[in-house]
Structure 1
Amino acid sequence: MLIYSIINQKGGTGKTTTAINLGAALNRRAKKVLLIDLDPQGNLSYSLGINEFQNSMAEVLLGECKISQILHSNEGLDIAPSDNSLADAELSLAVSGGQERALKTALADISDYDYVLIDCPPSLSTLTVNALLTSHKVIIPMQMEVLSIQGLDQIMNTINKVSTTFSVDLSIEGVLPVMVDQRRKLSQEVRDYILENYDLRIFDSMIRTNVKASEAPSFGRSVINYKPTSNSAVDYMRFGDEILELNA
């Protein structure tokens, strides 16, 4: 079982879209996937049509129920939902102290998945630290824009800080270019800058700008299910295959 955190401390970078559609792509390749919504905004849950539930990741992290008891299914994916109650749970974890491995503990009884994808909040928080300490690898969705470089520095600092503080070796699988407009020269320039100045892989796959990816959550579906011939769906299927190749 491989656990990935999908992280970017800058909002609006396609974390949730990437988590959902990477999961859908892996599922299309006969992999069993668990999606964990670890963002109090609950965008992943909402985007897959999960709007009503009794228990969520808030109760799981507080030890009030098992993760297996909160799961919902859509498109062959298992989803552990969240809503704004997760913010209160995070505060409780932070106040009690020493709860940075609550998620790791909660996942201890889960073993029948090929991939677990964690949609992280856009901040350095107790939830983000929990995700990083649980994960084997990190994926960073990122727009190829100048201001995104500053965000990348923040992510690298966060990962280094967590690695040092908790004596763990966090592996960054790579940077995924998202919302790419191939007509813009800037995208290639930012890509080249990252390759020259950071010891990071940039995935061969890139996710092109496409309105269908924005429409899909309105129908509670991945773009791969909603419009499988769209640029976004094709790109995410290609990305899923790249992830499988890296882990073959």
Structure 2
Amino acid sequence: MAIKIAFTNYKGGTAKTTSATNLAGGLLKTFPDAKILLVEADGQGNTSSTFNIKSSKVENTMYDVMLKDVPVRDIIINAYENIDIAPANSDMDFVDFDFMTENKKELKISIFNALKKIPNLVKRIVTMNLKEFISEIDKEIVEKKDYFNLLNHKFDEVDKIYDYIIFDTPPEMKAVTASTLAVVDHVIIPYEPEKYSVEGIVRLLRRINTIRKEYNPNLNIAGLLPVKVSKKTKLHNEVMASILQFSMNQKINHFNTRIPASIRFATATANGLPATITDKKSEKFTESYYHLIDELIDNKVIK
């Protein structure tokens, strides 16, 4: 079974895509025989762009997997050697709206069928209170999709094919991200050491705990990962110290790895591959992701 890891944060610009793609590249270099699937859940399509794939021209994407039950295997594109991508494009921006629209339509049909099916219900409605009516209707209505669990069992088949499945999520906590957290084994929370980082992490942890309680009791918080770090910046050091103390109090892992602020990751992407594939392992800016892999191995997140 594949080890499934998601990079998640409410805030944009926290290097989720950079981290997901460079982790994939680093894993390939570390385990050359491993098969890796990158799942792009963000409508910006930056994961695909990292490998010079134009997801805007792809017919079926993660949108179709989530809302139209297209099998994951049918949308997979080979990106590089043993790295594949399940792409996304701007269609993902409409997942919430389209789900609500379709769900409202299906709900009306279900209620109509229930009214016809339950003996004398129409006649009895005038004497029933709302609670009694809902109780009767609930016996007949079965929701086809759960807003927070749209990927339920969708990865069961490809689970057997890949060693690692890495999810890049959008900067929000609605249907797409919640559905991702409902099916992964581990979540890594990258954060930029800024003024309001602690508050954002606290909010995110609350939602993760809700997903864990309702859908995925085995969901593990692999750790908090500082990104875009400038060690010379006093604020960065103060924020990281604060979050480290917070993580210790909450008994949540805080990675020792520091992903540095650098344009190197962007320039590597412009060349069509993540830096962990194009650069030497010892290069200053890619070395951090290999340190992350070492920590994930030490913490038994990956093997």
Q: Does 1:144 align with 2:150?
A: no
8 A Cα contact 1:24 1:75, kept in partner: no
Name the CA distance, whole Å, in 2 between partners of 1:181 and 1:119.
24
What's the counterpart of residue 204 of structure 1? 256
Name the CA distance, whole Å, in 2 between partners of 1:22 and 1:244.
13
Deviations 1:206-236 (A, max 9, x none): 1112211121221221011233354221111
What's the counterpart of residue 121 of structure 2? none
8 A Cα contact 1:94 1:126, kept in partner: no
What's the counterpart of residue 57 of structure 1? 62
Name the CA distance, whole Å, in 2 between partners of 1:230 and 1:167.
38
Which secondary structure state, in structure 2, belongs to the residue aligned with residue 105 of structure 1?
coil
Alignment of 1:1-16 (within 5 A): 1-16=2-17
Name the CA distance, whole Å, in 2 between partners of 1:24 and 1:91.
34
Which secondary structure state, in structure 2, belongs to the residue aligned with residue 138 of structure 1?
strand
Q: Does 1:237 align with 2:303?
A: no
Name the CA distance, whole Å, in 2 between partners of 1:70 and 1:231.
35
What's the counterpart of residue 75 of structure 2? 70
Which one has a bigger Cα radius of gyration?
2
TM-fit CA distance, 1:167: 6.6
8 A Cα contact 2:75 2:86, kept in partner: yes
Name the CA distance, whole Å, in 2 between partners of 1:59 and 1:224.
30
8 A Cα contact 2:12 2:171, kept in partner: yes
Which secondary structure state, in structure 2, belongs to the residue aligned with residue 4 of structure 1?
strand
Name the CA distance, whole Å, in 1 between partners of 2:13 and 2:167.
16
What's the counterpart of residue 79 of structure 1? 85
Give the total of aligned pairs: 248
TM-fit CA distance, 1:19: 0.4
Correspondence for 1:88 among 91, 94, 98 = 94
Q: TM-score, normalised by structure 2?
A: 0.76
Unmatched tracts of structure 2, length 5 or more: 104-144
Correspondence for 2:43 among 34, 40, 43 = 40
TM-fit CA distance, 1:150: 2.0
Name the CA distance, whole Å, in 2 between partners of 1:105 and 1:92.
21
8 A Cα contact 1:32 1:115, kept in partner: yes
TM-fit CA distance, 1:166: 3.7
TM-fit CA distance, 1:196: 1.9
TM-fit CA distance, 1:192: 2.0
8 A Cα contact 1:59 1:89, kept in partner: no
Q: Which letter does structure 1 place at the counterpart of 2:286?
A: A
What's the counterpart of residue 277 of structure 2? 225
Q: Which letter does structure 2 place at the counterpart of 1:106?
A: K
What's the counterpart of residue 29 of structure 1? 30
Alignment of 1:87-106 (within 5 A): 87-95=93-101, 96=103, 98-106=146-154
Alignment of 1:119-134 (within 5 A): 119-134=168-183
TM-fit CA distance, 1:99: 4.1
Alignment of 1:146-161 (within 5 A): 146-161=195-210
Which secondary structure state, in structure 2, belongs to the residue aligned with residue 146 of structure 1?
coil
TM-fit CA distance, 1:59: 1.2
| Identical pairs, percent | 27
8 A Cα contact 2:26 2:290, kept in partner: yes
Unmatched tracts of structure 1, length 5 or more: none
8 A Cα contact 1:212 1:230, kept in partner: no
8 A Cα contact 2:149 2:215, kept in partner: no
Deviations 1:60-98 (A, max 9, x none): 112442111111122331110000112233433344252
Deviations 1:135-162 (A, max 9, x none): 1111011112222122212211221232
Name the CA distance, whole Å, in 1 between partners of 2:75 and 2:96.
18
What is the RMSD of the two structures over their aligned residues, measured on CA atoms? 1.9
Name the CA distance, whole Å, in 2 between partners of 1:246 and 1:231.
23
